[in-house]
Amino acid sequence: MGLIMRFRAAAAVFAIVSGLAVPTTHAAAAEDSPSLMVVASNPDDPDTALAANIFFQFNMCGVNCNAGLTDVADAVARSIVSHHALWVSLNEACSNQVQEVVANVNSTYATAGLGDRYVYRMVVAYNTSQCPSGFYGNAVLYDTYYGTEVGLQCWHLYPNAGFASGGQCGTTLSAGPSVEERSLICVALEVQYELNPGGIVLPLHQQVVCSAHLTAGTSGTDDSTRYNQGIDVSDDVGSYTSCPGNHCTGYVVVMGDFNQVPTSYTLDMIYRANAGDSAGYGQFHEVVTGLVLPRVAATAFPTDQDGRKIDYIFFGPAMSVASWQVTHPTVCNDGTPVTGTHVCSDHLLLFGEIY
């Protein structure tokens, strides 16, 4: 693993993905929300171009479920490459789609002379015929150039909370629940990176990347279920945010489709108290509101086509967000309207740059 996080041969990769729709970016005031993402690069000197520490969250299915279609996976792969996303959370994904994403990203990098870089880990939430592979759930993808895996854990959430079995966690998948279990997966990685900009090198430390998916629905029972699932997520990742010494304290990122708006009592379990917002008693800030804004401010930046903010990138107390971006799902087809059976998702693409 490269001990200082740098993006090699950036110019070559940019050339391969040229023509992708690039969202508009803008700078925000220091006291406001973080700016939209500008990927750091120096095409004139690719060997010294820094890689931004980019996280990417996306629900691949949602209302517009795509039955394991690989063109959606191909589009997700293009989004990973075009944003240099190093750490990825995918919800409601078929395992064949996840494999397709990884294969396509690695093919692009290999063409640029960078070799196979990305791997995936998955928790099976459901064994379903809707997926050609049979397995459906959450996945974490990461770039092995910047992270060495040191731990993996998977959980099912309330009402059948507990550790997922070996055949339901990892890459060698052999089983899954017959009824969907909302789930959480966390991958612990040894990383070291150089802050961008500034050239400050952080010590080698453990960074934990998690993907969660909570129950959908609007009934009182659904709300109660999500509340208990929020407690499960908080408890399950708690050991990572309070581990002994300073090896991993605070370097935890939890991404996912929580199916709740920012002000919900479910997310009281997740959000850390922020300025003007004393209700949060969890352990995490979120990329849209950062360390400053009350979480109600995030409602102005929906992550679903129905206008709700329900997808999140939460980060631990040792980290800070530098930028973020929400893009429309048409980017999955390079700006071509999504029509017919080739649907992307009703969810938007959420990116965050966190150090």
Phi, psi of 345 (to 5 degrees): 180, 160
178 in a structural domain: yes
Q: Identify whether the C-beta of residue 306 lies closer than 8 Å to the C-beta of residue 334.
A: no
Q: Identify whether the C-beta of residue 155 lies closer than 8 Å to the C-beta of residue 177.
A: no
The residue with greater pLDDT, 289 or 215, is 215
4 in a structural domain: no
CATH code of the domain covering residue 174: 3.60.10.10
What 3-state class would DSSP assign to 312? strand
Query: Which has the minimum average pLDDT: 59-68, 71-80, 124-133?
Result: 59-68
**Region 195-200 average pLDDT:** 56
Per-residue pLDDT at 64: 66
Per-residue pLDDT at 68: 76
Per-residue pLDDT at 327: 79
138 in a structural domain: yes
Question: What is the pTM for the complete model shown?
Answer: 0.84
3 in a structural domain: no
Phi, psi of 290 (to 5 degrees): 60, -145
Confidence category of residue 206, pLDDT binned at 50, 70, 90: confident
341 in a structural domain: yes
**Region 301-326 average pLDDT:** 90
Structurally, how many domains does the chain consist of? 1
38 in a structural domain: yes
Confidence category of residue 175, pLDDT binned at 50, 70, 90: confident
Q: Tokens 């190093």 map to which residue?
A: 86
**Region 103-119 average pLDDT:** 92
2 in a structural domain: no
Task: State which residues form the domain around 66.
Answer: 10-354
- Separation of CA 297 from chain center: 21
What 3-state class would DSSP assign to 113? coil
1 in a structural domain: no
